[in-house]
């Protein structure tokens, strides 16, 4: 995923802001230059979503990955194409 973000950033020469719209790719997107996140789980877990984004942007990788590891199963459920019914 980050190769795609990097390619888009290079193509647009930073004329546009890139947002991440896939919940489980947030840290990869930030590391590739994304400046925002359209997060589905922010409605259910707003504090954790904001913290995860802010840790990623601030380069606080230890805190980001601790929260990401906890959050990842939920993020994956939100982006999965598998039905859970």
Buried b (16+ CB within 10 A) or exposed e, 13-32: eeeeebebebbbbbbbbbeb
- pTM to 2 decimal places: 0.76
- pLDDT of 33 > 60? The answer is yes
Q: Where are the beta strands (DSSP E) in 1-55?
A: 19-20, 36-37
What are the residue boundaries of the structural domains of the chain, listed by start?
2-79
Q: What is the pLDDT of residues 45-83, one digit of tens each?
A: 999 999 999 999 999 999 999 999 998 888 787 666 665
């Amino acid at each position: 995923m980050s190769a795609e973000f990097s390619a888009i950033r290079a193509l647009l020469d930073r004329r546009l802001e890139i947002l991440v719209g896939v919940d489980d790719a947030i840290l990869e997107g930030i590391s590739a230059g994304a400046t925002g996140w359209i997060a589905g789980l922010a409605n259910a877990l707003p504090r954790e979503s904001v913290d995860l984004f802010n840790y990623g942007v601030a380069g606080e990788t230890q805190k980001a990955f601790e929260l990401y590891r906890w959050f990842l199963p939920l993020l994956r459920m939100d982006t999965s194409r598998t039905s859970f019914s």
